[in-house]
């Protein structure tokens, strides 16, 4: 299951991180080192073990489906890289 430059390219694309062409090989080597170290988990017998998805055994609480805050577009837009007329300005999404 070795990771090659092509796999790094694909994963970086999935993660939406641009990686320079000359970084793909070194990254593949780094990630392989880490993944190989991780693979010692195969030694652990996990037959019939339930995956642990939460650090505490509590059921998630429910709340009323009502609006609790909002109506402050100015505060929400205050950190936007670009905004106009109360909207975020983003690159064209639909051609």
Rule CB under 8 A: which residues touch another protein?
1, 3, 7-8, 11-19, 27, 30-31, 33-35, 37-44, 46, 49-56, 58, 60-61, 63, 72, 75-76, 78-82, 88, 90-93
Least separation in angstroms between CB 86 and another protein: 14
Distance CA 18, CA 58 (A): 40
Least distance (Å) between residue 22 CB and another protein: 14
Distance CA 38, CA 46 (A): 15
Alpha helices in the chain, H assignment, sequence order:
5-14, 24-38, 73-77
């Amino acid at each position: 299951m070795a990771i090659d430059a092509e796999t790094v390219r694909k994963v970086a694309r999935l993660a939406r991180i641009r990686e320079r062409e000359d970084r793909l090989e070194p990254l593949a080597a780094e990630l392989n080192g880490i993944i190989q170290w991780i693979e010692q988990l195969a030694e652990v017998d996990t037959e019939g073990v339930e995956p642990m998805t939460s650090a505490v055994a509590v059921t998630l609480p429910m709340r009323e489906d009502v609006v609790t805050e909002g109506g402050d577009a100015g505060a929400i837009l205050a950190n936007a890289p670009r905004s106009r007329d109360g909207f975020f300005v983003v690159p064209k999404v639909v051609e």
